[in-house]
Amino acid sequence: MTERIRGNSVLPAKREAITLETADGLTLVGELATPIDRPPVATMICLHPLPTHGGMMDSHLFRKASYRLPALAGIAVLRFNTRGTSSLQGASEGEFDNGVGEQFDVAAAVEHAEFADLPHIWIVGWSFGTDLALMYGLEPSVEGIVLLSPPIRSAGPQHLKAWADSGKPVTALIPEHDDYLQPPEARERFAAIPQADVIGVDGAKHLWVGDSERVLDEIVRKLAPDVPVPLPNTWDGPMERADSSAYKDRTVAAFETD
């Protein structure tokens, strides 16, 4: 039976709990979702928003990516809680380090993807996660980055120059009504990276509530260009429903199920 894909729709995938071991001795909790019937065509490592403001691996965009992209686009989705961050998936060891110690978290995620022989590794950062991507994501095995609502707070000119010099693709999705960096200023800031593709999204806000489909389509457009977009909004096959009530006590809009 063909059913509409909604915010809590979970399409078939192989989902396994993973642990990441950092170079400074911490264990981080995560999940890897891969296509159930074929090898993945690309890999998405998710770097979540600021944990002190409710960000975590279960923030709604990354949750939906893990629910949909393995089945709809053949993309492997690796998401995890950075140090000191907890979610329904569990709590990662350590304490939030304001983007300093998190360099080891990013490296551990990339290393896990490498050891698992996952193909075409990309990093997708959101808000705080975009600074981590810009500062620490320029690893040899990482093919490019997608930045969602980048505030460019911690990342400095040297990081932008490093990406510019690398020639690797950088895509920035900028909400029209972002709280920190809106499209005109974003184009000025990212001019330091000649190959950067800055995409303004009309009507969108920092947390992308109501705009999940547009974000997922843009991610697929970059990571799996052979997959037609927009992605289907219906599914003819088995489908589960996630228990969205598990997030009822989360008041931050990052956990909306729209």
pLDDT per residue as tens digits for the range 14-64: 999 999 999 999 999 999 999 999 999 999 999 999 999 999 999 999 999
* Residue whose C-alpha is closest to residue 56's, from 18, 33, 34, 84: 84
Q: Please tell me the predicted confidence (pLDDT) of residue 40.
A: 98
Q: By the 8 A CB rule, do 129 and 47 touch?
A: yes
Task: Note the residue count of the chain.
Answer: 258
Q: Please tell me the predicted confidence (pLDDT) of residue 211.
A: 97
Q: Please tell me the predicted confidence (pLDDT) of residue 243.
A: 85
Partners of residue 217 on adjacent β-strands: none
Q: How many domains does the chain have?
A: 1
- In sequence order, what DSSP letters do the residues of 26-68 get, joined into one string? -EEEEEEEE-SSS--SEEEEEE-S-GGGT--TTSHHHHHHHHH
Partners of residue 144 on adjacent β-strands: 122
* Residue whose C-alpha is closest to residue 54's, from 242, 251, 244, 257: 251
Q: Name the pTM for this structure.
A: 0.95
pLDDT per residue as tens digits for the range 104-113: 999 999 999 9
92-to-29, 95, 169, 235 alpha-carbon distances in Å: 5, 9, 30, 34
Task: List the chain residues with pLDDT less than 70.
Answer: 246-258
Q: Please tell me the predicted confidence (pLDDT) of residue 72.
A: 98
Host domain of residue 101: 2-255
Find the CATH number of the domain harbouring 69: 3.40.50.1820
Q: By the 8 A CB rule, do 152 and 131 touch?
A: yes
Q: By the 8 A CB rule, do 237 and 36 touch?
A: no
Q: Which residue type, as a one-letter code, is found at position 229?
A: V
User: Helix (H, G, I), strand (E, B), or coil: what is residue 161?
Assistant: helix
213-to-11, 79, 254 alpha-carbon distances in Å: 15, 18, 15
Q: Please tell me the predicted confidence (pLDDT) of residue 162.
A: 98
User: Helix (H, G, I), strand (E, B), or coil: what is residue 207?
Assistant: coil
Q: Please tell me the predicted confidence (pLDDT) of residue 250.
A: 53
Q: How many CA atoms lie within 13 A of 147 on its CB side?
A: 30
Q: Please tell me the predicted confidence (pLDDT) of residue 223.
A: 98
Q: Please tell me the predicted confidence (pLDDT) of residue 249.
A: 57
Q: By the 8 A CB rule, do 151 and 99 touch?
A: no
| Bridge-based pairing state of the strands 42-47 and 121-126 | parallel
Q: Please tell me the predicted confidence (pLDDT) of residue 255.
A: 42
* Residue whose C-alpha is closest to residue 122's, from 38, 32, 40, 43: 43
